[in-house]
Structure 1
């Protein structure tokens, strides 16, 4: 794990611009003066060198059934987006914030839903048994870190969205369709590595 820690620290220290859901859609006209809501997500890497991901509950109003990182919007009680990421990870999958070593963050990612998401990379200390919060998380699963950092596994797909064709990154894994902001942030880390 110490070699992975070094690789991640080096990758996270590299300067780069932020990313967005619009990266592959350069013709998108964004409204002037838009205000993005801050959020934080956690790329939690286990001692087995897997990344913890969730399948959102199909009952949720926003993004039901989609694959995502644990995390969410920054609440007034969260001093910073990292606090939101850690708080939500504990709420959603039962990961105590004291069991995560935050190594750093990738640049902020702007979503089509109006969030400025800060993706934090953290190492989970010791074995961890996820406990999905049924109201928000249908499933927690793990993907080998080596799979998610293999740029050859990523591809661009598209679909109609609000009357336009929207392109986005995907990185399928078994029965899981990892796409959109989650795939884009993972690819951002893979590029740095």
Structure 2
């Protein structure tokens, strides 16, 4: 299937539902969750943010709404929904959760669980000035085109890492965000 022909129904029929798995190793890491908001349209979109430039961690980077799990969160999904509401005013009750992707280890010491959800097309986003500089939508078919992601092998803290890089319009999408989008594409069987 060509990515430009991808509808939301096609995506949903190919998405493999996963539940977060907790192992002894995972319980010792700080937990975080991000929402991967898929915008329900004839040609679905992927909602992304650009973090505010004054942020202490990851300033100016393209990211999904999300953050650390706190004591009020009943689950990883609840954390992703709370953060999406705080950062871009997505009401939790309008998000249709369809599953999660495997957790990803961040360079800041968090294990991040990507939560995939569908949001209505008519939402009015309100970016939190403290955290978000911009909110934008990328066509899902474009986001899931694996050939747009380029690997870069780096060494950090004595360990080899592969990071993924891409551009969309004037936004540089890289690191964990690009890796999560790429994993989403692989999850539904897209081919490089």
- TM-score (normalised: structure 1): 0.82
Compared CA separation, residues 33 and 103, structure 1 to 2 (3 A): closer
Compared CA separation, residues 5 and 33, structure 1 to 2 (3 A): closer
Please state if 1:13 is matched with 2:17: yes
The alignment partner of 2:167 has SS state of coil
Alpha-carbon distance in 1 for matches of 2:77, 2:180: 16
Runs of 4+ in 1 over 4 A off after TM superposition: 158-166
After TM superposition, the structure 1 = structure 2 runs for residues 31-180 of structure 1, keeping only pairs within 5 Å, are 35-48=28-41, 49-158=44-153, 161-162=156-157, 166-180=161-175
The alignment partner of 1:171 has SS state of strand
The alignment partner of 2:16 has SS state of helix
Number of residues of Structure 1 aligned to a counterpart in Structure 2: 176
- Gap runs ≥5 in structure 1: 18-31
How many angstroms does 1:125 deviate by? 2.4
Compared CA separation, residues 159 and 130, structure 1 to 2 (3 A): same
How many angstroms does 1:128 deviate by? 1.1
Alpha-carbon distance in 1 for matches of 2:145, 2:158: 33
- Gap runs ≥5 in structure 2: 1-6
Q: What is the root-mean-square deviation in Å for CA atoms of aligned residues?
A: 2.4
- TM-score (normalised: structure 2): 0.83
